[in-house]
Amino acid sequence: MSNYNPKSLKAEEFISDSEILETLRYAEENKNNTQLIDEILEKARPKKTADGVKCAGLTHREASVLLACEDKEKINQMFELAEEIKQAFYGNRIVMFAPLYLSNYCVNGCTYCPYHYQNKHICRKKLTQEEIKAEVIALQDMGHKRLAIEAGEDPVNNPIEYILESIKTIYSIHHKNGDIRRVNVNIAATTVENYRKLKEAGIGTYILFQETYHKESYEKLHPTGPKHNYAYHTEAMDRAMEGGIDDVGLGVLFGLELYKYEFAGLLMHAEHLEAVHGVGPHTISVPRLKRADDIDPNQFDNGISDEIFEKIIACIRIAVPYTGMIISTRESEAVRGRALRLGISQISGASRTSVGGYTEEERPHDSEQFDVSDQRTLDEVVRWLMELDHIPSFCTACYREGRTGDRFMQLCKNGQILNCCHPNALMTLTEYLVDYASEETKKVGFALIEKELGKIPKEKVKNIAEDNIKQIKASNRRDFRF
Ligand code: SAM
């Protein structure tokens, strides 16, 4: 008898090992069942309704059948469908962000992470508030408006008070026309009380990667420290939501365990959040294990090829159509380019994964979390996106207008993106171009904005957006939003 219960608050019941194994068996048995695969693809296809476009999404079992399928033609159909869904709900906008590493002190023993406490040769650093200011100014001078703060787990060096003070510092800095308008937080699992404090500090999304959903592997990969506790880690999003954070970001670190197991676990986690809190994850990240100080990815047996990685991204896009998807600079330009088509809606640019890295002339390696594959400047990434016909967006409007959790999902589901997110993207891109871009990027960008303004359906919205863009170009007025 399976103990599976998506409504349970116990990790081992909403991520039931027996249900995952049964799902994998079912997927393997049906991976050549063309009729079933066609039915699943049909169910997932966007459908026109009276008030917009709707997508049914897929269960973890249905999506696992797609992931197991090896037929080239069917995989191409999956890729086409993923692209169609992405276009229907996210359009061609790509939200930009950068990670900001506050501290690499850590008491955990994660075997894949260079921050593990036994690593004696990594240079340990924790930014002071003055150093945070300098990092934030450097990030603002590139054009960033949205950060994800990162820290190791260390109750003495990085207590919650330090994180809260750092968030306050980040929001307080307004350098030239710059400001950081959304701070997402990626710190270790914590208590309801601390999540409430993070919410009060005005964070955007709380991000926590599960690393692996496989309990036994999880315990081996996290042999010591508070992170060893599988249930505490897996139930963190429920505590975050209890603390009032309704935008949460899931992810697994691909390469640690078998990807089909992780994929089913990830979708079950999303189903659990929907079943208990009425709203699924705001984002899903797809990090892959990378080389790092003291870490050789070849020590781990479950690395995945780029082809499988792309299939995973497409299948997630099809299964949870309204969830944003994030890819970091762990991936190369080529992989990121393909992933964007298949469903990614947020990318980082010009990231430095070292503590204090943004104020250094040269990319430092002595305190880095992992090797960065995409080392281009933000200007280069922005221009590249536009040349591929994406709109880089620096928009942070939704959560500042209270459109979080199910209110954001409603906007997405009602197809209001073109009247809201699209003009916001064009206005914030204008800010970026005017304040930070090179001449070449400006040329490409202003031409793109001209073309994209024509796609705003409501005449009134279009006129306001055009007027705001004129003001951004002619003055220092910033931060217009719908
Ligand atoms: N300390 C927090 C925690 O334990 O969840 C979060 C911060 S940690 C800096 C962010 C993420 O980096 C981890 O959740 C892990 O998935 C990822 N990471 C760790 N080592 C990595 C590696 N060698 N390659 C790629 N990503 C890695």
193 neighbors 238 (Cβ within 8 angstroms): no
- Which helix or strand (DSSP H or E) is residue 338 part of? helix 333-342
Q: Which atom of ligand 1 is nearest to the CA of 253?
A: 16
Angle, vertex CA 85, rays to CA 253 and CA 372, nearest 5: 30
Residue to substitute in 160, 209, 285 for testing ligand 1 pocket (most ligand atoms within 8 angstroms of CB): 209
Cβ burial 312-326 (10 Å sphere, 16+ → b, else e)? bbbbbbbbbbbbbbb
211-233 pLDDT, tens digit each? 999 999 999 999 999 999 999 99
Give CA–CA dist 194/159, Å, rounded. 10
Q: Is the CB of 330 under 6 A from ligand 1?
A: yes
Specify the range with the lowest mean pLDDT, choosing from 177-191, 259-273, 352-366, 424-438.
352-366
159-176 pLDDT, tens digit each? 999 999 999 999 999 999
Query: Which are the contacts of 292, defined by CB distance < 8 A and separation ≥ 6?
Result: 113, 114, 368, 369, 370, 371
Give CA–CA dist 459/51, Å, rounded. 18
Q: Is the CB of 253 under 6 A from ligand 1?
A: yes
User: Which residue's alpha carbon is nearest to atom 4 within ligand 1?
Assistant: 188
CA of 113 to the centre of ligand 1 (A): 6
Taking all residues of the chain, what is their mean pLDDT, rounded to a whole number? 95
Q: Which atom of ligand 1 is nearest to the CA of 290?
A: 24
Q: Is the CB of 186 under 6 A from ligand 1?
A: yes
Q: Is the CB of 153 under 6 A from ligand 1?
A: yes
CA of 292 to the centre of ligand 1 (A): 11
Give CA–CA dist 140/143, Å, rounded. 5
For residue 93, the cross-strand partners are: 391
Radius of gyration of the chain (CA): 22
Nearest to 287 by CA among 219, 365, 208: 208
Q: What is the mean pLDDT of residues 163-192?
A: 98
Task: Name the packing angle between helices 306-319 and 259-277 (round to 10°).
Answer: 20
Q: What is the DSSP string of 372-436?
A: -S----HHHHHHHHHHTT-EEE---HHHHTT--HHHHHHHHHTTGGGGTHHHHHHHHHHHHHHHH
Reported confidence tier of residue 418, pLDDT bands at 50, 70, 90: confident
Report the helix count and the strand count for the chain, using DSSP H and E: 20, 11
Task: Name the packing angle between helices 17-30 and 60-68 (round to 10°).
Answer: 50
101 neighbors 355 (Cβ within 8 angstroms): yes
22-55 pLDDT, tens digit each? 999 999 999 999 999 999 999 999 998 887 788 9
pLDDT on residue 334: 95
Task: Quote the tokens at residue 374.
Answer: 């995409």
Residue to substitute in 149, 302, 369 for testing ligand 1 pocket (most ligand atoms within 8 angstroms of CB): 369
Give CA–CA dist 288/348, Å, rounded. 15
- 136 has pLDDT over 70: yes
User: Which residue's alpha carbon is nearest to atom 5 within ligand 1?
Assistant: 188
CA of 60 to the centre of ligand 1 (A): 25
Q: What is the mean pLDDT of residues 124-136?
A: 98
CA of 169 to the centre of ligand 1 (A): 24
Burial status of residue 73 (CB atoms within 10 A of its CB: 0-12, 13-18, 19 or more): exposed
Residue to substitute in 160, 186, 329 for testing ligand 1 pocket (most ligand atoms within 8 angstroms of CB): 186
More confident residue, 286 or 90: 286
Q: What is the DSSP string of 58-78?
A: --HHHHHHHHH---HHHHHHH
Reported confidence tier of residue 409, pLDDT bands at 50, 70, 90: confident
Give CA–CA dist 121/5, Å, rounded. 44
pLDDT on residue 52: 79
pLDDT on residue 1: 66
- 131 has pLDDT over 70: yes
Q: Which atom of ligand 1 is nearest to the CA of 233?
A: 5
Q: Is the CB of 188 under 6 A from ligand 1?
A: yes
CA of 236 to the centre of ligand 1 (A): 16
User: Which residue's alpha carbon is nearest to atom 21 within ligand 1?
Assistant: 113
Identity of residue 335: V
318 neighbors 43 (Cβ within 8 angstroms): no
Handedness of CA 136, 138, 140, 146 (dihedral sign): negative
Residue 150's φ and ψ, nearest 5 degrees, are -130, 140
Q: Is the CB of 97 under 6 A from ligand 1?
A: no
